[in-house]
Structure 1
Amino acid sequence: MTAHSQDVRQLFGRVAVLLGGSSSEREVSLDSGRNVLESLVAAGVDARPIDGVPALIKELQAGTVDRVFNILHGSRGGGEDGVLQGLLEAYGIPCTGSDVLGSALAMDKVRSKQVWQSLGLSTAEFCVLRPGEDLQEKAEALGYPLIVKPACEGSSVGISRVFKPEDLAAAVALAKRYPGELLLERLIVGDELTVGILGEQALPSIRIVPAGEYYDYHAKYVAEDTQYICPGLRQQDDAELGELALAAFRAVGCRGWGRVDVMRDRSGRNYLLEVNTAPGMTSHSLVPKAASQLGIDFSELCLRILRQTLAAVAAP
């Protein structure tokens, strides 16, 4: 073991790379987690994988974990809805990413959009579909085309684009496969962009250009022909988008690192979509692509994220 490796092991202690879990995004999390684990181990960190929250609880009870690199995705068995964060706060174990409040708000697309609206931050018009309400009436009030999505899922799970009334029922049936509220949102026609957040910094934006019509699950994690243009906008526009993304991130109480997804219409107006508090770290993932534009390679990115847990411990 080199002196550097020994210093790193002492600095971070025993690190649990929390991956997998039981959410709808399990496979993506496993892929992300493998990449993070390999990078941390290569850097000399005493890191090992733990699959899901129940397995982590056993390790916490045994006192074998000093900090957690959370790369679980999603809710209800994922690590982005605040449940994991509450557990770790109770044990006094620092964790990468946002705390209970930030995680819970960001995971809930309805509440995060309500916060943004209250602060005058631009987000697409939407309504919540609750049991017993007239589906067609709500959709017509919002206007076609629209998007139907589960309020608490990620990775484009359960999302449909609806252009005419006769397709609405099937879209709602798909979204209802997932727990929680359903969201109807006005479809913004334009460019899809994303902004990574690292500490107090907005990374260069990425404009996503799928080979197909939409940036769906296949385009995100399977296809090799999706284009990622970084920076996604000209300098001044990119700076303005970065400011909006940081404001949205802070508004819902997030911290550490994350990713803010945005639609930009043909007139150049930006609309906030959602915040991801444990973004993907796969070969197709966007935060590593943006960080690389600033000379931050994958290994350094993982270490910077992990170092944020030291600041969390030092905070009063």
Structure 2
Amino acid sequence: MLNVAVIYGGKSKEREVSLRSGKGVANALKAKGCNVKEIDFTSMDFISSLQGVDLVYLALHGRFGEDGRIQGLLDILEIPYVGSGVLASALAMDKAKAKRIFDYVGIRVAKDLFVQIEDKERLNFDAIEEDFGFPLVVKPNQEGSTIGLSIVKNKSELKEAINHAFTFDKQILIEEFISGTEVTVAVLETASEIQALPIIEIIPNKNQYYDYESKYAPGGSDHIIPARINKETEGLLKKWAIEAHRQLGCETLSRVDFIIPSDGSLPVILEVNTLPGMTETSLYPDAAKAIGLSYEDIVYKLVEITLDKQK
């Protein structure tokens, strides 16, 4: 019997989502006959409980779980784990650095201004308005699930949005706002190939934008599979998703988010998620379902892929 430790919870702002992902993963692996040890990662005390496990399934989201830190610890302990390694995890979490890589290889990114907290008081709001116009986006550089993100509609809202983003991170991004349709591409990597699963179109129901509530509240959004896009756009999105996965050095799985602009221009990459959510409303399991894999099937397949790579 396969011994799997599922690590979830953690200390990040996405703790509650991680708890839901972890419980779902643990139940799926139990249904597949695995011996599952559930670990709520709140301190380093969990290390001793990893003795005897064959593999770790990381169901963590955000800081300390998706940013390469726990991956480095597991590498030192020589315990295999589902998902990307240290460098890919850290790069994907750092939106500014990831965007520079995407831009370099020809994947379209949104225009942005990278700001560190020590430069906050020197910002020129008139110059920002001239460069970006309104609305614009302000967000922490290293947070997920739209935490700390604001859509700023005029200059009077800008200072508050910047201060809000800096409560979550010491680095923020000010970006152009691109109106359009948000889509996501789940990527699955085996030992022999990398494939993009059917593209999902996201329609928020709760709010105007695909924010935290839209992502995780029941009925918060509709997932349309396949997305209502033409074949040319579909091919480009899948190509770019696989390229983004490769360029960051991701492994086994990722989910790449894009927006398709309303003006008909090329899609814009938003971010790469190295540990996509696995809750009952999550996108990655929905994409897997579209190719005939149930929730339990895709969770176990990720474990099998990880073990195959170890061999």
Q: TM-score, normalised by structure 1?
A: 0.91
Aligned-partner SS, 2:113: strand
The one-character-per-residue Cα deviations of 1:81-118 (angstroms, maximum 9, x if unpaired) are: 01111111111111101011100000110100011112
CA distance in 2, matches of 1:117, 1:82: 23
The one-character-per-residue Cα deviations of 1:31-70 (angstroms, maximum 9, x if unpaired) are: 011111001001101112111162432324xx23221000
1:16 is aligned to 2:5: yes
CA contact (8 A) 1:82 1:101 kept: yes
Paired residue type of 2:184? T
CA contact (8 A) 1:127 1:142 kept: no
Percent of matched pairs sharing the same residue: 39
Aligned-partner SS, 1:258: strand
CA RMSD of aligned residues (A): 1.4
- How far did residue 231 of structure 1 move? 1.1
CA distance in 2, matches of 1:55, 1:272: 38
The change in CA–CA distance for 1:43 and 1:135 in structure 2 (over 3 A counts) is farther
The change in CA–CA distance for 1:261 and 1:55 in structure 2 (over 3 A counts) is farther
Paired residue type of 2:273? N
The match for 1:128 is: 114
How many residue pairs were aligned?
299
The match for 1:255 is: 251
CA contact (8 A) 1:18 1:70 kept: yes
1:99 is aligned to 2:85: yes
CA distance in 1, matches of 2:100, 2:303: 31
The match for 1:3 is: none
CA distance in 2, matches of 1:207, 1:135: 37
Which deviates further from its counterpart, 47-56 or 26-35?
47-56
The match for 2:146 is: 156
1:68 is aligned to 2:24: no
The match for 2:196 is: 202
CA distance in 1, matches of 2:109, 2:230: 22
CA contact (8 A) 1:127 1:184 kept: yes
1:167-246 mapped onto 2 (5 Å cutoff):
167-199=157-189, 200-211=194-205, 212-232=207-227, 233-246=229-242
The match for 2:29 is: 40
Q: TM-score, normalised by structure 2?
A: 0.92
